[in-house]
A and B are shown apart, each in its own frame.
Chain A
């Protein structure tokens, strides 16, 4: 076989979500990329290597000796004003945890891809969202995507929002292991001119670590300073909402993408009685199930949460309060949590506390370890949610779906 070079100027590509993000790195002219292999994230580093070998991507590409170093290197690169990209999966992401935490406090815009993977043990590489969700409290912006094309768009968005001087926070793009990292889909590419118009260069201003700009970062502080610093980081995260809205408007316009809400996707919800809510690629069986149930006259819909941090509480409060019941699907777990619910369930339950009318809720945990979320299990979840709509409350607030008993 001829080893062909990758021409990223083709209007249309057959690529995986990981390959889409690697191409985004080339188009965004990323300066420093670090890598350490772990499945399924390694698919992105393989394609980054290919783009570099082809001469398509020019950057410092450093294979670190561990995930901790991998994230430390890009953290420092970001401090000197380099646009950076990195990523990991599952326990690899956890091995970098110290670096993940400090990046937020230092207000360094780092873009990472998390190829969602179950946490070992037992050794497993199927998708679960607990890896990326583990940083949800720290100041990382978290985005979940559904298709390879969305993965590419989300990467451009991530640099734009993370590097905005109002924000300067890291952002992780979660791509479900296998369904996005290993599946090749048809992607309509933006042109380089469109990307350049959307994504300005990273300018760290006088926060840049440089001999001409003598500053110190990462000092030691205690009770005298720390809470104020946390409050600043909190303010940055709060500002992220508006910056995301602004960036999404620009993206829709410049990329000629369909108009879409930046935070949530609503599928056939207009006249729905009950909806299910979830994140990532499980939208595929859910959308198919919605169409099949609607053919039977059942008014059902699906809501996909795209940004988990900042959490789209205002959007979900408006979108979800009108239904007779809602079911929240978690491809994660939060053992010992209220109602034994998953993370998304607990967050949405909290977001809806002040809403009137507050819809009755039920939570589902399914698809762990990459287990298939089938049309049958989706139908079961809709049926259970209809039961909740009838009685007004869930007898059992949390159900595990598709588990052998």
Chain B
């Protein structure tokens, strides 16, 4: 059996065409080597929704019978390469069909590769990626998350750079020559050159079992037909009570299973010292993610925040709430707890987060907390790719 499977983990909707182009080109290139394949999206995802984690797959086999054996209709049980085109997804994948949090490397086979487009270093990414009990490799294609393939977006060659890197880390899938020929046919020689460069340059780091984020990924048991309530009734969660179950403040009850982990790409960082307790963030948050502390401050609960940035938009105090990219956080702990425990430490951390934030203020026109105007250009410069030969 020479079956090779690849997944592309992306965020809807703007990265769908990028992922589709990668998977299609894999299958078309495999044809050049006389193989057969199929490319398909994970249907239970809702990639038309902004920022929602989603997957596309390419499965390649030597002959049609072998391809049938892979049952390539559903998400494969294991893949040779997990391609991640938005590095914030290294924290895990939440399908729109609700199964909990799937570690980014869950499907990666022993000895396989997680291939990430990122401007972070592998050590930073490994802080997010869950521990796995088999060794695999982590390869990075240097670059920011891209919307390449979207007609309103400049073609930064991310698609073919990933394919070039793929030929290096997974030569048994398709060799670089077949990719180059296909890329020349689909696009042009310039993109072929980009693929070749990525092939030459991609670096891969071995990841040992036990390396990575030790946190247990969120999961839950789904009820059976005999235990589930009838008539499609969804009971409300109860109203809630005092902050942390104590006297004073207010903390709403939250849905036990419907959490927000990797759905968000940014989170609010709050300056509790300048907060005027105006209530606007608490009122306007579409996900009821703010807890009211006994002193009347607002602490955002990271189980519920989808990173939309409405709180930042409505907050009347300059820089009281700042949206910061998820890559700056390695856990979901309470900011208010941090502040209460160590005010000076918190304020220093807050400054650090603000500096790390590439976020323009909302009036520059950030879209739904996902990407903001000018972010791409800034990140692209940081990669050093721009001035490259």
With contacts A12-B31, A186-B31 taken as known, whether A404 is within 8 angstroms of B232 at the C-beta atoms is: no
Q: CB distance A405 to B27 under 8 Å? A: no
> Is B337's CB within 8 Å of the partner chain A?
no
Contacts of A404 in B (CB 8 A): 222-225
Given A1-B149, A1-B159, A184-B38: A122 touches B68 (CB 8 Å cut-off):
no
In the complex formed, the residue of B with least CB distance to A375 is B71
Asked if A184 and B24 sit within 8 Å, CB to CB, the answer is yes
Report B48 CB to chain A, min CB distance, Å: 9
A287 in contact (CB, < 8 A): yes
Q: Which residues of A contact B69 (CB under 8 A)?
A: 288
Q: Among B39-47, B137-145, B249-257, which stretch is in contact with chain A?
A: B39-47
Taking the complex as formed, is A296 at the interface, i.e. its CB lies under 8 A from any CB of chain B?
no
Tell me which of A126, A182, A185, A288 contacts B41 (CB under 8 A): A182
| Contacting pair B31 A184 (CB below 8 A) | no
Across the interface, A1 reaches (CB within 8 A) one of B68, B74, B148, namely B148
In the complex, B351 has a CB within 8 A of chain A: no
A245 at the A/B interface (Cβ < 8 Å)? no
Are the C-beta atoms of B232 and A121 separated by less than 8 Å? yes
How distant is B157 from chain A, measured CB to nearest CB, in Å? 10
Partner pick for B40 among A183, A285, A372, A375, CB 8 A cutoff: A183
- The answer to whether A355 has its CB under 8 Å from any CB of chain B is no
Whether B73 lies near A186 (C-beta < 8 A) is: no
Selected from B44, B71, B232, the residue in CB contact (under 8 A) with A126 is B44
Give the nearest-CB partner of A289 in chain B. B71
Partner of A288, one of B68, B149, B159, B187: B68
The answer to whether the Cβ of B362 comes within 8 Å of any Cβ in the partner chain is no
Interface of A is mostly: loop
* B120 shortest CB reach to chain A, Å: 26
Say yes or no: is B28 at the interface (Cβ < 8 Å to chain A): yes
Q: How far is the CA of A179 from the CA of B74 in the complex (A)?
A: 8
Query: Using Cβ atoms and an 8 Å threshold, which residues of chain A touch B68?
Result: 284, 287-288
Task: With CB as the reference atom, state the residue of chain A lying closest to B48.
Answer: A39
- By a CB distance below 8 angstroms, the chain B residues around A327 are none
Q: Are A182 and B43 in contact (CB under 8 A)?
A: yes
The reply on B21 being an interface residue by CB < 8 A is yes
**Are A183 and B38 within 8 A (Cβ)?**
yes
- B187-209, CB < 8 A from A: 187-188
| Smallest beta-carbon distance B42→chain A, Å | 9
B27 touches A14 (CB 8 A): yes
In whole angstroms, what is the CA distance A186 to B28 when docked?
A: 9
Q: Is the CB of A182 within 8 A of B40?
A: yes
| A4 & B186 in contact (Cβ 8 Å cutoff) | yes
Binary interface profile of B, 201-236, with partner A (CB < 8 Å = 1, else 0)? 000000000000000000000111110000010000
Complex CA distance for A122 and B228, rounded to whole angstroms: 14
Query: A1-B21, A1-B149 in contact; A403/B40 too (CB < 8 A)?
Result: no
Residue pair A284, B43 in contact (C-beta under 8 Å): no
Q: Which residues of B contact A183 (CB under 8 A)?
A: 38-40, 72-73
Q: Measured between C-beta atoms, what is the minimum distance from B228 to chain A in Å? A: 8
Is A281 an interface residue, CB under 8 A from the partner? yes
Residue A3 is within 8 A (CB to CB) of chain B in the complex: yes
Is B31's CB under 8 angstroms from A177's CB?
Answer: no
Does A142 interact with chain B (Cβ within 8 Å)? no
A372–B187 Cα distance when bound, in Å, is 36
What's the Cα separation between A122 and B229 when bound, in Å? 13
Once the chains bind, are A284 and B21 in contact (CB under 8 Å)? no
A2 within 8 A of B: yes
| A125: B residues at CB distance < 8 A | 43
A1-38 vs B, CB cutoff 8 Å, 1 = contact: the mask equals: 11110000000101000000000000000000000000
Is B155 in the interface zone, CB < 8 Å from A? yes
B187–A1 touching, CB < 8 Å: yes
Kindly supply a per-residue 1/0 record for chain B positions 146-185, scoring 1 wherever the CB is within 8 Å of any chain A CB and 0 otherwise.
Answer: 0011010001000100000000000000000000000000
Of residues 218 to 263 in A, which have CB atoms within 8 Å of B's CB atoms? none
* Nearest CB of B to A369, in Å: 10
Give the nearest-CB partner of A405 in chain B.
B224
Quick one: closest B residue to A121, CB to CB? Answer: B232
A343 contacts partner chain B, Cβ-Cβ < 8 Å: no
Assess whether A178 is interfacial by the CB under 8 Å rule.
yes
* Cβ of A359 under 8 Å from chain B: no
Q: How far is the CA of A1 from the CA of B149 in the complex (A)?
A: 5
Contact string against A for B residues 327-340, beta-carbon threshold 8 Å, 1 for contact and 0 otherwise: 00000000000000
Q: A-facing mask of B1-40, CB < 8 A → 1, else 0?
A: 0000000000000000100010010011001000011111
Q: Hey, which chain B residues are within 8 Å of A405, CB to CB? A: 224-226
Contacts of B38 in A (CB 8 A): 183-186
Q: Can you name the residue of chain A whose Cβ is closest to the Cβ of B57?
A: A183
Cβ of A370 < 8 Å from any Cβ of B? yes
- Name the residue in A121, A122, A185 with the highest tally of chain B Cβ atoms < 10 Å from its Cβ: A185
Measured CA separation A12–B32 after assembly (Å): 12
Contacts of B148 in A (CB 8 A): 1
Cα separation A69 to B325 with both chains bound (whole Å) = 47
Assess the A14–B39 pair: CB atoms within 8 A.
yes
Asked if B27 and A2 make an inter-chain contact with CB atoms under 8 angstroms apart, the answer reads no
Contacts of B27 in A (CB 8 A): 14, 184, 186
**When the two chains form their complex, are residues A14 and B24 in contact, meaning their CB atoms are under 8 A apart?**
yes
* Residue of A whose beta carbon sits closest to that of B28: A14
Instruction: Please determine whether A177 and B43 come into contact, CB atoms closer than 8 angstroms.
Output: yes
- Which of A12, A14, A288, A375 counts the most B-chain CB atoms under 10 A from its CB? A14
| Chain A residues within 8 Å of B39, by CB | 14, 183-184
- Per the bound structure, the CA–CA distance linking A267 and B72 in Å amounts to 19
Q: Closest residue to B155 on the A side, CB-wise?
A: A1
Residue of B nearest to A186 (CB): B36
Most buried by A among B17, B43, B44, B225: B43
Contacts of A182 in B (CB 8 A): 40-41, 43
With both beta carbons as reference points, the residue of chain B lying nearest to A287 in the complex is identified as B68
Q: Return B70 CB to nearest CB of chain A, in Å.
A: 9
A126 to B17, CA, bound (A): 22
Q: State in angstroms the CA–CA spacing of A285 and B39 once bound together.
A: 18
| A-B contact list, 23 entries, CB within 8 Å | A1-B17, A12-B31, A14-B27, A14-B39, A125-B43, A126-B44, A182-B40, A183-B40, A183-B73, A184-B27, A185-B38, A186-B36, A281-B73, A284-B71, A284-B73, A287-B68, A288-B68, A288-B71, A370-B43, A372-B73, A374-B71, A404-B225, A405-B226
Beyond contacts A40-B43, A183-B72: 13 other A-B pairs, Cβ-Cβ < 8 A, are A1-B159, A2-B186, A121-B232, A126-B43, A177-B43, A183-B38, A183-B73, A184-B38, A186-B37, A284-B73, A374-B71, A403-B225, A404-B222
- B-side residues, CB < 8 A to A, are 17, 21, 24, 27-28, 31, 36-41, 43-44, 68-69, 71-74, 148-149, 151, 155, 159, 186-188, 222-226, 232
A interface vs B, CB < 8 Å? 1-4, 12, 14, 40, 121-122, 125-126, 177-179, 182-186, 281, 284-285, 287-288, 370, 372, 374-375, 403-405
**Closest 3 CB pairs between A and B?**
A178-B43, A183-B40, A404-B224
